A and B are shown apart, each in its own frame.
Chain A
Amino acid sequence: MNISQIIEYVAVIIIFLGSVMSVISAFGIIRLPDVYTRSHAATKSSTVAVLLSLTGAFIYFWVSENLISVRLILGILFVFLTAPVSGHLLTRAAYRSKVKLTENSSDDALKEVLFPEDK
């Protein structure tokens, strides 16, 4: 077992962790009660999942085929940039189209700003 094989196994473990994270985030999207809490699962866990898979693939190709894949780096960069923006826009659109929060939500500081007539 030489050093490049060990690094290949590390890359495989990273890809495995990424797939576990994506399963957890899919659970979260099904299980959590409303759009806003689901967006937590969709932005954070799935970002980490995609990032881990891409990083693992990058390390694997680097070690086994001596290839520094610029496309994978670009993929990592753009996932970092776009995932928070899409999460923000989804929750914003949901709130503007009056999707309710769950029953046990406590504070709602946005309601009096966006819909002052509903008080």
Chain B
Amino acid sequence: MGEVRNMPAQFLLNLFIAFLWTTLQDEDELRLTTFFSGFIVGIFIIFLMHRFFGTQFYLKRLFSVIKLVFIFISELAQSSLLISKQILNPRWDLKPGIFTYKTELKGDWEITTLAMLLTLTPGSVVMEVNPEGNMFYIHAMDIEQSKADVLRSITKFEKAIMEVTR
């Protein structure tokens, strides 16, 4: 099984399963939809078999991208609810402030994604990133209350981003 160790080989195997599926259906003409359903069946088969190949599943990165998008949408919904509550609160007595966070992510792509996610999370806007790209200066709407929340969701984001890029 040495040839299915790398990820392009998994993709080729998946195409082969789809091709087999199409031919074994024995239809009158070649239909693209049958090929697609064969491809989906192949995804399931390879997902069940991939730990015998000794590498990670080749669509794992796609799954983590989808997971990241869902985390993003749920955080955005929560933050808009929180901000509209804070706006409509008649007595406005929050304490805004700026705090720092040191991240372990590296590279333009990871840091940009984290900054975008943070800007849309409850109670925080990224104001400045230092030139080395590992220190974030975050403005919080209510520093005592939301700093703990922000730090918790930052670690969640970092884990999700690392699953995509590494």
Contact = CB atoms under 8 A, between A and B. Distances in A.
A28 B119 contact: no
A108 B120 contact: no
Contacts of B120: 43-44, 47, 83-84
Contacts of B74: none
- The interface centre, meaning the residue of B123, B130, B141 with most chain A CB atoms within 10 A of its CB, is B141
A13 interface: no
A60 B83 CA distance: 28
A105 interface: yes
B127 interface: yes
Interface in A21-66: 21, 24-25, 27-28, 31-34, 36-37, 39-41, 43-45, 47-48, 51
B27 interface: no
A81 B126 CA distance: 15
B125 interface: yes
Interface of B: 76-77, 79-80, 83-84, 87-88, 92-100, 115-116, 119-120, 123, 125-128, 130, 137, 139, 141, 143-144
